[in-house]
Structures are given as structure tokens and as C-alpha cells.
Amino acid sequence: MAVKGLQAVRGMNDIFPAEAAAWQALETDLRGLLQLYDYGEVRLPLLESTELFARAIGDVTDIVQKEMYTFADRNGDSLTLRPEGTAGCVRAAIQNQTMRGQTPRYYYMGPMFRHERPQKGRYRQFHQLGVEVFGQAGAGTDAEIIALSARILKQAGVQASLQINSLGSPEARAAYRERLLEYLRPQQEALCADCQTRMEHNPLRILDCKVPGCQQIASSAPHLVDHLDSESALHFASLQKLLTALDIPYQLNHSLVRGLDYYNRTVFEWVTDALGAQGTVLAGGRYDGLVAQLGGQDTPAIGFAVGLERLLALQEIQGNQACADKPVLFIGAMEDDSLARSWQLAEALRDLGISVVSGGPAGFKALLKQAERSRALFQLVIGLGQLQGEPVIIKEQCGEGRWEGSLEAVITGLQSLGVDFPKHAPHTGQNFATARRSK
């Protein structure tokens, strides 16, 4: 229950250990994959000057117009919590001159902030893994990062399908925009109110409007890929050839236009219908003009971002989410006198790298309950008898295993047990009590 007056800001979530285990496992997996492709981590500020995002993302986009957390610094500068990662990454690469004569491959993981109405798969603070490659103009790089994205989803055990499109050069896109408007104008009255507004500032978005009437009109619209400049057309053909060679299935989606202004040529999205209205899990594309636009030398670039909450939600739906590691041993002490001894033992075992949870002093039955709740693989109880030399009993909590010995032998005994517990134990939803009853 929320304490009066003290609650998290809307759309911002607290993550507790049970859930954090899935996050950690996912992050570890992701870092491993990125290492396979030799991407290096960059850690960037969460806060940037507002101007950066306005210039990079585009003044007319919804993100800049209505979704940014913007406020004045103490000296009056306008600052913004990053709504996405690419702009900051490009800014950092320019500022630190890391692209001179280099073709760096970067990744970053962390929170992004957008002031939208929260719903399934959409939060005001959410987390992305972002990947950016600079200085590589060839379609091979497009194929590489799409292959990487495919591998990320596969590793995460997530089902999604790949859609691609090409936006061509800015000039070709501008020309296509005129062709599209010529096609739409006679039917303008039939479009929804939103799309009539879109005709003013972003007619390409009309192509993926959900209103049936608009879809009808869009379905017969001229295709962007038929109006590409020749270099972009070659680039796109080359990419498709590579995807086929890499055995990565894809769909050409003519209405895939991406929301942010900086994209050109290749755009792609991995989509699913398992997340309600938020179908995009991973999305990216080429943004060859952005580095120059932000004041750097003209440098081709490409990247993508994955929504970690969405990835985790899909993992949960598909039963692939990792669980927290279990402690190896629970040590319970029955009375104050045995408590000191049990703590000594616990510390000695931790010296050996064995995870231990301590409990007590408490009655015997209470200790067994504590042991069960600790999820430990083994449990032992120390009482006055053990202090006087009676044997200790180590018992396997889930199974039948049982081992007796002196207190001093427990340490070597535990080692001889060869404890090897799964890092990602399958989550059955069963506790030990129900597991026992079903035996």
C-alpha cells in the first residue's frame, strides 16, 4: 500500500530482486553477444542540452513537441532527460573526436524518459539497449547489425518478425513525398482528422495509420522503394541479398517509415503482436546525415535500439525469463549460545565462496520454515547439542539428500557434496512445501 504523499512518479517503476534477476540475466546475455561482434560500451549522461534533441530528432516529432522531460538548470540552461540514446551518442563521438579515422562500434544500456501516458509495454522511464556504428556506409554493416538484432532476440528466446524498408536519400524521400501528396490530395476528405494534419508536416506517417479508411487509401499509394535514388536502390538490393545469404527472413513493409527525422536508407523493425498496442520490440536504421547535422564531419552511421521492458515482457509470456540464483545453505541457530557458532560457520563458508543465509535464534520448526523460505539448496540447524559435539545434519531441501558429520567437518563436507546449482533454475511456481507434498 502506498504511503500517503510518497509514491513513485507516474510511469516509473521500482524493480525488486525477483524481477531484477531477470534483468541481470538479460543484461549479461546481451553484453556477451555484443562482445561477439566487438561492440564497446559507452556510458553517457542521462541529461543533455535540450537543443541537442531538438536538432537531432526533429522539431516536429511528437517526442520533441510533447514528450520530453525538459526543465531549466540553475543557471537557466534548458536541459532534457534523454528520450532516446542516438543523439547523445553522436554528440559524444563528435565531442571526443572518436570517429576520426576510426569506425567505432558502440553500445549503451540505460534508462530513457518520455512523458507519455503509460500502458502495457510503455513507461515514462524505460530502458533501452542501443547500438551505433559510425563510418561504415556499406550495406554489409546494415546486414551485420540486423544479424546482431536477430541474435539478440533469439538468445532472449523471443519470437518476433523482421520488417524492413528503405527511405532512400533525403532528396529521393522529398521527391517521393511530393508524389505521395499528389496521390493523396484528391482523397484528402476521406482521410481521418489526424492524417489530414499529417499531410502538413509528415505525410509519410499516413501510410501506417490504423484507421481502416486511411489504410484503404494507403494500400494503393505509390511505394517509397519504387522512387529511391539509384545508389539507395543498389544499397537496399545489396542488403536484401545479404539477409537472404544469412538466412534471416524478412518482410518488405512499404509503410515502415520510422518516427524520427534523422533516418535515411535502411530502416527496420522487429515486431510482435504479443504486447498489445506496443508491437515494436527492436527498431533502427541508417542515419547518414546526423553526424554532420550535429556539427561533425560527414560520417555515415547506423544503429538500433531494443526496449528492455518489452524484451522482458516477451520473455515472461514465452516462459523464458530467468529466476534469481538460490543460496546454497541455510544455517539456523536455536538459541543465543549457538548463534555465535552458526555465524562463525557461515562466514567460514562464505570465505570459500559458498552462499549462506543465517537464521535464528528460533524454535526448531520455525527454523525449518525460515530455511524453506530462504530457497537454499541445503539446510542445517545448530543447537546446544552440536556445541557439545553431537553430529550436524545437513539436509537437501528439495530432495532426499542427507549428510551427517561434526561441525568442523561441515565445511569440507559441503565441498565434497560438489554443490552445483543451476544459475537459471526453471521457474515452476512451486515452493518446497508443495514440491514435497506432490512427492
Instruction: State which of positions 302-361 bind RNA (CB under 7 A).
Output: 305-307, 309-310, 334-335
What would the grid cell of residue 73 be?
538548470
Count the Cβ atoms, other than its own, within 10 Å of residue 32. 10
Stretch that binds RNA, among 22-30, 44-52, 362-370, 419-427 (CB under 7 A): 362-370
Cα separation, 268 vs 283, in Å, equals 6
Count the Cβ atoms, other than its own, within 10 Å of residue 206. 26
Residues between 269 and 298 that touch RNA (CB under 7 A): 269, 276-283
Out of 19, 27, 29, 67, name the contact with RNA by CB under 7 A: 67
CB of 298 to RNA, least distance (A): 23
Residue ranges of E strands in 68-124: 69-72, 78-81, 105-113
Nearest to 83 by CA among 118, 149, 127: 127
What would the grid cell of residue 325 be?
540464483
Residues between 75 and 134 that touch RNA (CB under 7 A): 84, 114, 116-123, 126, 128
CB of 267 to RNA, least distance (A): 9
| Choice between 3 and 245, CB closer to RNA | 3
Contact 296, 55 (CB under 8 A): no
Would you count residue 395 as binding RNA (CB under 7 A)? yes
CB of 273 to RNA, least distance (A): 10
Nearest to 333 by CA among 266, 413, 392: 392
| Choice between 72 and 393, CB closer to RNA | 393
What would the grid cell of residue 438 be?
506432490
Out of 4, 43, 74, 439, name the contact with RNA by CB under 7 A: 4
Would you count residue 370 as binding RNA (CB under 7 A)? yes
Out of 135, 203, 303, 383, name the contact with RNA by CB under 7 A: 383
CB of 258 to RNA, least distance (A): 6
Would you count residue 401 as binding RNA (CB under 7 A)? no
CB of 426 to RNA, least distance (A): 19
Stretch that binds RNA, among 32-40, 177-185, 229-237, 430-438 (CB under 7 A): 430-438
Out of 326, 369, 424, 427, name the contact with RNA by CB under 7 A: 369
| Phi and psi angles of residue 232, each rounded to the nearest 5 degrees, phi first | -65, -35
Cα angle: 372, vertex 378, 382; to 5 degrees: 85
Contact 379, 332 (CB under 8 A): yes
CB of 46 to RNA, least distance (A): 16
Cα separation, 87 vs 103, in Å, equals 17
Cα separation, 320 vs 33, in Å, equals 17
CB of 330 to RNA, least distance (A): 8
